[in-house]
Amino acid sequence: MLVQLIRFFRGYVDFTASGKFPERFLNITSRYGINLWNAKPSKHSINASMYISDYRKIRLAAKKSGVKTRINAKHGLPFFVNKYKPRIGIPIGAAAGIILIIVLSNFIWSVSVTGAQTVSETKIKQVLSENGVKTGGYKNNLDVQKIERDTMLEIDEIGWMSVNLTGNIASIEIKEKAQKPKIDSSATPCNVKAKCDGVITDIKVKKGNVQVKKGSGVAKGDLLVSGIIETKMNTLQYVRANAEVFADVVYKKDSSIKSEYEYTFLSSEKTERNRVFLLWLEFPCSMSFSSYEKSVFSETSQNVICNDVVLPLGLKTSTQSDLKSVEKKLAKSDAEKIFINDLLLYEAFEKPKSKVVSRKININKTGDEFHCETDYIFNENIAYSEDFSVTD
């Protein structure tokens, strides 16, 4: 196998040496130190093989032995290269391809994170990127153990992680820590007080001495549940009072919008510019020089996926959209819709744990503005804990 490989790389010819004394030809070539193999005799001739470099030297041996040599077949790389010499682009392309593969195999092509449930994948990738594990990062000088250690120190929620570099793919496996439940271990006694004015509707006491009743009105800072309990032995015991006290609380919300305003919207005119990207390299595919007075940019990226692996090869499209503005007058019905939407957002995001008991909306127009006054009654937990000193 090895001999055949050497023969292939050096190049060899099958030839026929015909004449009166082909044996003499064999003797002379062997005396010159020329390697010859597969010598098969036939009538007044010999068929044999020899290296192309040796074949150029046998002219004298052929002359001395009185034989004529004729090449039957040519084998090996030198003949192959010679055949494609006029097409120089093919070997150059092949060499460039091999170099490209060697160079690109030194970089990370794809980073995948598995096992992240509560921790954001983006955050993990960001920390890994700071440590060198990123698409297009040089992978040969990565200290995997140090990266794992640093990432676990940076993100506290990770209990175990493994960075696996398989070829050009970095696959990160993560196990999250089981979070400890928050336990109030404070030994300081406390009272439960009201954080705002309201009428009590429900009391759920876990610990402490209740000071109020259902239906009673309380002001901000009033004591709701005391942390001082009288025992059966007529002694005082100081505890951490714990309770949920629900009350109807009145809120007022004012908002206003202008009746005449500038409405800005995206027009149908837009310009798209495409770029093909590979790792950190980007090549523009389309050019456009149109510009708009007011515009917004958006960018989308589509990667090539091969065998569930996201490759760092794809198309980036940046879109510049024209913005147009028009003066608009607002009708009262439209203003009402806007105010209602605004109030729904307020209830959903600012009072997520409160229940709406009543809502009264009053919309007025004064000058060039619409005013909205809303009277709310929310049913919510008004209890908060306040520590107290035993010595006081």
Partner 1 sequence: MQKNKDKHNLGGYAPFGLDMGGMPTIEMLGNRRITLEGSTGILLYESDNIKINTNKMVVSFCGRGLCVRCISCSCVEIEGFVTQIEFLC
Query: Which chain residues interact with partner 1 by CB under 8 A?
Result: 22-24, 26-27, 29-31, 33, 35-42, 46
- Count the neighbouring beta carbons within 10 Å of the beta carbon of residue 91: 13
In the complex with partner 1, which residue's Cβ is closer, 50 or 116? 50
Closest approach, Cβ 42 to partner 1, in A, equals 8
Alpha-carbon gap, residue 330 to 242, rounded angstroms: 51
CA 251 – CA 198 distance, rounded (Å): 10
Closer residue to partner 1 (CB): 33 or 86: 33
Q: How far is the CB of 68 from partner 1 (least distance, A)?
A: 17
Cβ 54 to partner 1, closest distance in Å?
13
Cβ closest to partner 1, residue 29 vs residue 226: 29
**In whole angstroms, what is the distance from residue 117 CA to residue 173 CA?**
12
* Residue 31 vs 213, nearer CB to partner 1: 31
Considering the complex, what minimum distance in angstroms separates the CB of residue 73 from partner 1?
Answer: 18
Are the C-beta atoms of 224 and 193 separated by less than 8 Å? yes
Crossing angle of the two packed helices 144-154 and 121-130, in degrees rounded to 10 = 130
Q: Which is nearer to partner 1, 39 or 142 (CB)?
A: 39
Is the CB of residue 350 less than 8 Å from the CB of residue 329? no
Q: Which residue, 66 or 97, is less far from partner 1 as judged by CB?
A: 66
How many Å separate Cα 273 from the centre of its chain?
A: 23
Closest contact distance (angstroms) between CB of 53 and partner 1 is 17
d(CA 195, CA 246): 11
How far apart are CB 172 and partner 1 at their closest, in Å? 59
For residue 73, which of 91, 55, 100 has the smallest C-alpha distance? Answer: 55
Q: What are 255's strand-pairing partners?
A: 372
Q: Which is nearer to partner 1, 41 or 66 (CB)?
A: 41
Instruction: Sort strands 169-176 and 110-114 into parallel, antiparallel or unpaired.
Output: parallel
Whole-number minimum distance, CB 52 to partner 1, in Å? Answer: 18
**Residue 137 β-bridge partners:** none
Residues in the chain: 392
Cβ proximity to partner 1, 42 vs 129, nearer residue = 42
Q: How far is the CB of 28 from partner 1 (least distance, A)?
A: 9
Whichever of 29 and 151 has its CB closer to partner 1, that residue is: 29
- What residues contact 65, with CB distance under 8 A and at least 6 apart? 17, 19, 21, 22, 24, 25, 27, 28
Cross-strand partners of 47: 16, 40
Q: Is 210 buried (19+), middle (13-18) or exposed (0-12) by CB count in 10 A?
A: middle
What span, in angstroms and rounded, lies between the C-alpha atoms of 296 and 292? 9
Contact 109, 135 (CB under 8 A): yes
**CA-wise closest residue to 270 among 322, 316, 318:** 322
The structure tokens listed for 242 are: 């714990």
Q: Do 133 and 111 form a contact (C-beta atoms < 8 A)?
A: yes
Closer residue to partner 1, CB minimum distance, 29 or 135 = 29
Q: How far is the CB of 70 from partner 1 (least distance, A)?
A: 18
Q: How far is the CB of 169 from partner 1 (least distance, A)?
A: 50
